[in-house]
Amino acid sequence: MTEHSELPAIEIDGISKAFGPTVALEGVSFAIAPGSVHALLGENGAGKSTLVKLLSGLVRPSQGHVRVFGKEIAYGAPRAAHALGMQTAFQEMTLVRDLSVLDNMMLPYAPVGVSGLIRRGAARKAVRRHIDDLGFSVDLDAEVSELELSVRQKIEIARAVYRKPRILLLDEPTSTLAGRDVDWLGAIIARLKTAGTTIVFITHRMREVRAFCDTLTILRNGRHIVTAPVADVSDADVIEKIIGRSIEQTFPPKPDSAQAFGPPVLGVRDLKVGPKLDGAGFDLRKGEILGVAGLQGMGQQDLFLACFGMAEIERGHILVDGRKVWLGSPADALRPNMAIGLVPEDRKSEGLFLKLSGSQNATLPVISRFTRLGLVDAQAETRSVEAAFATVEVDRRALWTRAGAFSGGNQQKIAIAKWLVAQSRILLLFDPTRGIDVGTKHELYVMMRNYVASGGSILLHSTEIPELVHQCDRVLVLYDGRIAAELEGDAITEPAIMRPALGQAGEAAA
């Protein structure tokens, strides 16, 4: 039993929060039991992130109270929340990109000797011991900016756990993790729960709610909808409560498997890029959604970057419409005879300029098309952006509002709309539904199907295997930088993808 077990670990009492005219939370009340794992669910924009910031002491509620083991949080002072035993691993990671792993792990509580100097030797030993104990390896002297997104997320989690919290807030920790990394996190959660730690777990994945959590709370439009034991609600009930309506089918139907696709529009031949991708080859056909599966670090990112002119090709070549092409930069990929667009893994730092409006982001790659004699044709620009935004169903306010003000789902829609404005005929989508709620996922799936039905082609990497199974016409499985399997039609199943992804015998690559 944990200390003060007669009190809720967290008690949220009539919390409301408004940012100007925008109401983020309204009259929210619920409690979380000590030593439990509690899922916090809701669409992007439902109020989850605001609630996490309230729990972390970062923002003050407009009204209501938050108590931790009976003590009210002091707002505007994260250290006060830390003093109550609260630690947070944020989805928008708080790591300092230009500092080393060790420096980030020490922030903000580095050990200081009597001289007032940081005891780096002692800190290094303690951090190394902690990371080894968590079961992953990383160079403590590596600059965070050089690390893959999944490794950065592990460091964010490791830093929060390092403080030995009584309450741990995990804000969509698996949005950048996949496969074995999710299992790694599950083992940490189980160990912390056994030790009496209370965990608040934000996710969009019901599989993780079932595997890790005891209870759940659903928010919708800033209001509390339900708090219940996980075992008492079905997946369908959860989805309906999250979005306020039922979805008959998460994925739109695939076209008839006998449908003939068009000729190859993008080809890869014996491609070697960086240390991971070595010898990949395939064709993407007109009107096709071609999936790319594989465990983290099998060369997926190198493949996508090379096809967009952002990675040096050491061997092999790329074909567009059957002709060998040179992609030395994104500018080459944007040329009308190529018309390739990339939605990258990290939309916030690589796909968008968060301080610019949605309209500015959408036209940035092709602003010259709307410019004559140095002047932008604002009417033509707006017409083009409005059409693209209507296609992806993005909030119309994005025309004039900075991209950073929107939820992750609307940000991703803006990132995709950018390539519709550019009239891209080949979309490279790298984990496009990462961190996106179930309702927005459905909208993106429909958009993808409509895009290929109109003659476009999509190369899709996803860390969610069901997404590849139900959304793709064909799936390639990468293992050790090579295509270990190619699956099509009814042969696309989760086991058929996972076997070659783990290095086991699977379907032979075509």
Q: Once rounded to an integer, what is the mean pLDDT over residues 319-335?
A: 95
Query: By mean pLDDT, which of 128-137, 282-291, 500-509 is the weakest?
Result: 500-509
Q: Once rounded to an integer, what is the mean pLDDT over residues 58-83?
A: 84
Query: By mean pLDDT, which of 247-256, 341-350, 352-361 is the weakest?
Result: 247-256
Give the per-residue pLDDT at 77: 65
Q: Once rounded to an integer, what is the mean pLDDT over residues 322-328?
A: 95
Q: How confident is the model at residue 3 (pLDDT cuts 50, 70, 90)?
A: very low
- CA-to-CA distance for 261 and 257, rounded, in angstroms? 10
Q: List the beta strands (DSSP E) in 236-311.
A: 264-273, 277-285, 289-293
Give the per-residue pLDDT at 275: 84
DSSP 3-state of 339: coil
Percent pLDDT > 70 in the chain is 93
List all residues 6 or more positions away from 12 whose beta carbon is below 8 Å from its beta carbon: 28, 29, 30, 31, 51, 64, 65, 66
Q: Once rounded to an integer, what is the mean pLDDT over residues 18-25?
A: 86
- CA-to-CA distance for 323 and 249, rounded, in angstroms? 39
Homologous superfamily in CATH for domain 10-243: P-loop containing nucleotide triphosphate hydrolases (3.40.50.300)
Torsion angle of alpha carbons 398, 242, 467, 295, nearest 10°? 90
pTM (2 d.p.)? 0.72
Query: By mean pLDDT, which of 197-201, 256-260, 328-332 is the weakest?
Result: 256-260
Give the per-residue pLDDT at 503: 82
pLDDT digits (tens, 9 = 90+) for 451-475: 999 999 999 999 888 899 999 999 9
Give the per-residue pLDDT at 90: 83
Higher confidence at residue 2 or residue 11? Answer: 11
Q: Once rounded to an integer, what is the mean pLDDT over residues 70-88?
A: 82
CA angle at 412 for the pair 169 and 417, rounded to the nearest 5°: 170
Homologous superfamily in CATH for domain 258-339+425-510: P-loop containing nucleotide triphosphate hydrolases (3.40.50.300)
| DSSP state at residue 348 | I
Task: Pinpoint the residues of the chain covered by CATH 3.40.50.300.
Answer: 10-243, 258-339+425-510
Give the per-residue pLDDT at 378: 84
Number of residues assigned to the chain: 510
Q: What is the mean pLDDT of the chain?
A: 89
Give the per-residue pLDDT at 118: 66
Residue 137 to residues 61, 133, 155, 156, 451, Cα–Cα distance (Å): 39, 10, 10, 14, 41
Q: Once rounded to an integer, what is the mean pLDDT over residues 212-217?
A: 98
* DSSP output for 9-42: SEEEEEEEEEETTEEEEEEEEEEE-TT-EEEEE-
Among residues 415, 406, 487, 424, the alpha carbon closest in space to that of 444 is found at 415
Rg (CA), the chain: 24
Give the per-residue pLDDT at 342: 97
Higher confidence at residue 149 or residue 478? Answer: 478
306: tokens are 């090379």
* Residue 444 confidence (pLDDT) above 50: yes
* Residue 1 confidence (pLDDT) above 60: no
- CA-to-CA distance for 109 and 280, rounded, in angstroms? 46
- CA-to-CA distance for 174 and 185, rounded, in angstroms? 8
Query: By mean pLDDT, which of 60-64, 104-108, 397-401 is the weakest?
Result: 104-108
DSSP 3-state of 200: strand
Percent pLDDT > 90 in the chain is 59
Give CB contacts under 8 A, 24+ apart, made by 113-121.
none
* Residue 506 confidence (pLDDT) above 50: no
* Residue 394 confidence (pLDDT) above 60: yes
